Amino acid sequence: MNKEQTSRREFLTKSAAAFSFSIVPRHVLGGPGHTPPSEKLTKAIIGVGGMGKNHFRYEGTKCVAVCDVDEARLKTAVKRGGSGCRGYRDFRELLEQPDIDIVHIPTPPHWHALISIAAAEAGKDIWCEKPMARTIAESRNVAETVRRNGSIFRLNTWFRFKSKFYSSGTTAFPLKKLVESGILGWPLKVTIGGKQGFTWKHGHRGKPNLPPQTVPAGLDYDMWLGPAPYRPYNGGRVHYRFRGYWDYDGGGIGDMGQHYLDPIQYILNKDDTSPVEIEADAPPQHPFVVGTWRKIWMRYADGCELLLDGVGNIDRPLLEGPNGKVWRGFRSDIPNLVRKLDAFPDPEPQVTNFTEAVKTRTQFALNADNGHRSCTLVNLAKIAIRLGRKLRFDPVKQEFIDDPVANDLVNEPMRAPWTLNGEPV
């Protein structure tokens, strides 16, 4: 292991860490005969196909390595990475490299958990794509491993702390403030769907009965499948199309779910819990292939409700409580709501700069713990769609109540040799 490079890592974090006062002047380290440590953090991107391309541009870091199981894509990505960017076919080899600070994981979702865990075990910080994981057990395991290793983790969805909260015409911040103010009363109902400004990408539907095809040269299909069950190769399964199969993701709810639901968990102050009842209105699903759905309903223990509208015909406010409602664009039936809110304190500030979070070892606003909980909503929805009946969930044990079939989907086993850490297989 290269001692210089790794101490650079400690240096970078130390120089800005919460418990230190002395900023080491650069020249002390950068004397003659020394390579001065770059102040820029380095990153590696694992999975450089569809979404991975976007991860080059996130600022504050320099891309030093990329990884993909598709040779052609890897080649393009190495070029895109510019000088000094190395290519790897196996992420485990990439994680052994000491000069990588942050690992970006824009792979299909069935790989998110395993790579996140391996990255945390390698002492890397993590920037993972949504949805956080394919099952509840997986994201739970990620949260646990990340916490244990002290990694800084963020999910690549922004709406908890930045940007208009999808097309709702408002950021999450004033909604959070409103909920904290108690003006709306309690419990609250949240509706997200077309009429509230949200669109589910229902186009991510797979095809049943794919005939086997020859695996194209340059694609490591076994590695692409990874922990997912073995199925014969078909081009309709991989790149871009994986969202149409339960083995890898869950269609529109998998793609957009965490974008929409993570801010809701934050707004409702549910970051450490999950709903207790879930029901989906959906046509019967194929065992492997994701179909469409119409409505998903969830209820928390305190009576807060969540309605996901996949049809776009539910004309309800975005947020409604016993004392008032808020529609898209922060319109409300409460007069002078914005002025009234002025008198209330702002919600706790969030850490929203990832590189700063990495340097100071502080939790990012959207981290593995609350990310696991918001991803749980996505996975609950998926299970409800697949089973087509009402389910009861225990948010403490994080399993369904008296329902072995549903619990079978809480922790879908991984194909050997891949395993989670210490969870029952």
Partner 1 sequence: MDPKRRTRLMSKQRPFSCLLLFSVAAFMSRPVYAETKAAPKPDKAVQQEAQEINTLVSSLPAKSFKERQKLYDQIIRLGTAGLDALCGQLVKPGTGDDTSARLALRGLSYYVMRPGAPAAERELYVQSLHKSLKTGPDINVKAFICRELQLTGRAESVAPLSEILTVPDLTEPSAMSLLAISKHAAKAEVTKAMRAAYSKLTGEQASQQVTLIRSLAALRDRESLEAFNHAAASDNTNLRRMGLYALANLGDPSSEASLLEAAGSKMISESQRVTSWLWLYARRLKEEGSTDKAAELCRKVFETRTGPADGHVQSSALHSLYEVLGDGAIDDLLASLENKSVYVQAASAKLLMKIKSESVALKLATRLKNEDPKSRKAALEIIAARGDASVADTVKELLNDKEPAIRLQAIKTYSEVAKEHSLDALLDFVQKGSPDEQKAARDALIRLPGEAVSKQVAEKLKTASTAAGKVTIIETLQARNARKQVSELLPLASDKDSKVRGAALKALKVLASPKHVSALLKLLGDTSPEDLDAVIAAIASAGSTAGQDERLAPILEALAVPDSKARLPLLKVLSRIGGKEAIVPVLEEIKNKDEEIQDAAIRALTEWPDDSAVEPLLKLATTSENLIHKVLALRGAMRVITAADIPAETKTRHVRTAFAAAERIEDKKMILGTVGSIRHSHSLKFAAGLVSQPELRAEAINAVIRIACPQGGNDTGLLDKTAYDVLKGLVETVADENAKEKIQAHLSSFPQGDFANLAWNKPVRSAPRHQGRNVPKLAVDGIANQSSVWFGDGSPAWFEVDLQEAVKIDTAHVYFYYSDGRYYQYAIEVSTDQKTWKKVVDRSGTTELCTARGHPHRFDPIEARWVKLHIYKNSANPAVHVMEIKVYAEGTAPKTLTKFKPNQELRKPGKPPAAARKAAAEPKGKVVNPSITPYALHKKDENGKVTSGIPEEEFQTLFDGKTLKGWQGSLNGYFAEDGILVCKGGRLFTEKEYSDFVFRFEFKLPPGGNNGLGIRATLQGNAAYAGMELQILENTAEKYAKLHPYQFHGSVYGVVPARRGFLKKPGEWNSQEVIAMGHHVKVILNGEVITDVFLDKVQPMDGKAHPGLKNRKGYVGFLGHGDRIEFRNIRIRDYAMSPPIPKGPQHNVAPPGYTALFNGKDLNGWKGLVGDPKKRAAMTPEQLSDAQKKADEIMRKGWSIEDGVLVFGGKGQSLCTAKDYADFDLYVDWKIHESGDSGIYLRGSPQVQIWDPKQHKKGSGGLYNNSKNPRHPALIADNPIGEWNTFYIRMVGENVTVYLNGKLAVDDVPLENYWDRKIPIYRSNQIELQNHGNKLYFRNIYLRELPH
Q: Which residues form the interface with partner 1 (CB under 8 A)?
A: 1, 3, 6-7, 9-10, 13-14, 17-21, 92-93, 95-96, 98, 117-118, 120-123, 145, 147-151, 208-212, 229-232, 283-288, 335-336, 340, 342-345, 361, 387-389, 402-405, 408, 413, 415-417, 419, 421-422, 424-425
Which of 157, 176, 174 is CA-nearest to residue 375?
A: 157
Question: Which of residues 25 and 404 has its CB atom nearest to partner 1 in the complex?
Answer: 404
Host H or E run for residue 253: helix 251-267
Tokens of 247: 């083995």
- The CB-of-13 to partner 1 minimum distance in angstroms stands at 5
- The CB-of-117 to partner 1 minimum distance in angstroms stands at 8
61-67 vs 305-309, strand pairing mode? unpaired
CA distance 107 to 5: 27
CA distance 301 to 396: 11
- The CB-of-165 to partner 1 minimum distance in angstroms stands at 25
Question: Which of residues 25 and 424 has its CB atom nearest to partner 1 in the complex?
Answer: 424
Q: Could you identify the residue written with the tokens 């699903």?
A: 285
Q: What is the CA radius of gyration of the chain?
A: 22
Query: Other CB atoms closer than 10 Å to residue 67's CB: what's the count?
Result: 27
- The CB-of-39 to partner 1 minimum distance in angstroms stands at 16
Given a contact cutoff of 8 angstroms between Cβ atoms, the answer to whether 77 and 67 are in contact is no
- The CB-of-84 to partner 1 minimum distance in angstroms stands at 20
Give CA separation, 391 vs 136, 280, 397, 411, in Å. Answer: 15, 9, 15, 16
Strands (E), 228-351: 277-281, 295-299, 305-309, 319-321, 324-326
Question: Which of residues 203 and 232 has its CB atom nearest to partner 1 in the complex?
Answer: 232
- The CB-of-152 to partner 1 minimum distance in angstroms stands at 10
Question: Which of residues 83 and 424 has its CB atom nearest to partner 1 in the complex?
Answer: 424
Question: Which of residues 51 and 290 has its CB atom nearest to partner 1 in the complex?
Answer: 290
Q: Could you identify the residue written with the tokens 């046509």?
A: 283
The CA dihedral of 408, 411, 412, 415, to the nearest 10 degrees, is -130
Q: Is the peptide bond before 187 cis (omega within 30 degrees of 0)?
A: yes
Question: Which of residues 7 and 171 has its CB atom nearest to partner 1 in the complex?
Answer: 7
- The CB-of-363 to partner 1 minimum distance in angstroms stands at 9
Which of 260, 254, 307 is CA-nearest to residue 280?
A: 307
Question: Which of residues 150 and 303 has its CB atom nearest to partner 1 in the complex?
Answer: 150
Question: Which of residues 301 and 334 has its CB atom nearest to partner 1 in the complex?
Answer: 334
- The CB-of-386 to partner 1 minimum distance in angstroms stands at 8
